[in-house]
Amino acid sequence: MKLPAIFLLLLASTVLTAQDARPPRRFELKPLSPRFHDLIAPDARLTRVAGGFGFTEGPVWDPKGFVCVSDEVRNRIFRVFPDGRTETLLRIIDSDGSTFDRDHHFITTASALRALIDVSPDGNYKVIADRYEGRRFNSPNDVVLGPGGALYFTDPTLDLPKGEKQELDFQGVFRLGPDGSVRLLIRDLEQPNGLAFSPGGKRLYVDDTSRKTIHVYDVTPDGGVANGRIFGREEGPPGSGSPDGMRVDSKGNLYVTGPYGIWIWDPAGNHLGTIALPETAANLCWGDADSRTLYITATTSLYRIRAKVRGYIR
């Protein structure tokens, strides 16, 4: 059912600071393997594209030439251009992860609605999934486009609206099929959060923020998953960050937010090194015309760093 834009409002005003020329204070490349520099050059620089946000999340690159960034404090999604210009795209309560579906519809999680929604250019939206077997989701967190045009998303309780009850007795990972069917794939994680597919879609990675673990699953021909196992652990002091958003490059290496920055893993589960950041990172995406730029949402800012390898964008 098409719903009015109660939480959405298209705007076109520049609101945040432009690109900040001040160098970051704690940026550092921390290789653990020589192969780290096959991916990130030793002289790579971190650029603060825009700042002044409340809390940034859910970046996704739009081929029109900008990054869509959620601000969970201001309850908005912004367009952020590579030159630092920033515009409000829409207003929405508690948007987190976002993606484009196979028809280039903008899909985002809406924790306040406990749903996945499809946002149209005119400022309206429609709920495309909000229940499993008649029970409401907890608080959908991140979403990616998967094999066959299906949407895969995590449903922890991290953003369950205050005062509302959890109806499911688990925190799951779901598959929303092109036909609208909702299928439960994983139910044994404590707080499933970020997720990403390997190039070719043979593997699904999911991290568990509570356990500070990254899990990997084989994707079955029918779009399900099997053979789940721990791929890696990201542990650090309290407040240093936890596994959250993730992306994969064209060679199958995994980039995951974690303690102090972005942890880079090879497909075999070896930690190659870390991109240490001046703020706590929540999520990231590949962008620019050549897909060689990592855009990183980190607390009040959006950063970028160039890579030597192309990102995998489904």
Rounded Cα–Cα distance for residues 203 and 205 (Å):
7
Amino acid at 4: P
Domain count of the fold of the chain: 1
Rounded Cα–Cα distance for residues 233 and 259 (Å):
11
pLDDT at 3 (0 to 100): 35
Residue 147: phi, psi to the nearest 5?
-55, 145
Within-domain flag for 313:
no
Within-domain flag for 232:
yes
Instruction: Sort strands 135-136 and 301-306 into parallel, antiparallel or unpaired.
Output: unpaired
Within-domain flag for 110:
yes
Segments forming the whole domain that contains residue 205: 2-161+169-306
- The CATH number of residue 262's host domain is 2.120.10.30
Residue predicted with more confidence, 26 or 296: 296
Within-domain flag for 80:
yes
At residue 158, does pLDDT exceed 50?
A: yes
At 293, list the tokens. Answer: 């730029």
Within-domain flag for 312:
no
Q: Is 302 helix (H, G, I), strand (E, B) or coil?
A: strand
Q: Which residue has the tokens 């937010």?
A: 257
Within-domain flag for 314:
no
- pLDDT tens by residue, 114-154: 999 998 877 678 999 999 999 999 999 999 999 999 999 99
pLDDT band at 237 (very low <50, low <70, confident <90, very high): confident
Within-domain flag for 130:
yes
At 272, list the tokens. Answer: 């190659």
Q: What share of the chain is helix, strand, coil (3-state, %, to 5)?
A: 5, 50, 50
**Torsional class of 39: left (φ above 0), alpha (ψ -120 to 50), beta (otherwise):** alpha
Long-range CB contacts for residues 287-294, cutoff 8 Å, separation at least 24: 287/59, 287/61, 287/67, 287/82, 287/311, 288/61, 288/82, 291/250, 294/247, 294/255, 294/262
Distances (CA, A) of 113 to 116, 176, 280: 8, 17, 27
pLDDT at 24 (0 to 100): 41
Strand segments (E) across 72-202: 76-80, 86-91, 95-100, 106-110, 115-119, 125-129, 131-132, 135-136, 143-145, 151-155, 171-176, 182-189, 192-197
pLDDT at 9 (0 to 100): 40
At 80, list the tokens. Answer: 């952020």
Q: Would you say the pTM of this structure is higher than 0.85?
A: yes
**Considering the chain, what is the average pLDDT of its residues?**
91
- pLDDT tens by residue, 6-37: 334 433 333 444 344 344 448 999 999 999 99
Within-domain flag for 76:
yes
At 192, list the tokens. Answer: 């499933």
Residue predicted with more confidence, 134 or 4: 134
Residues sharing a CB contact under 8 Å with residue 276, sequence separation 6 or more, in sequence order = 26, 27, 28, 29, 30, 260, 261
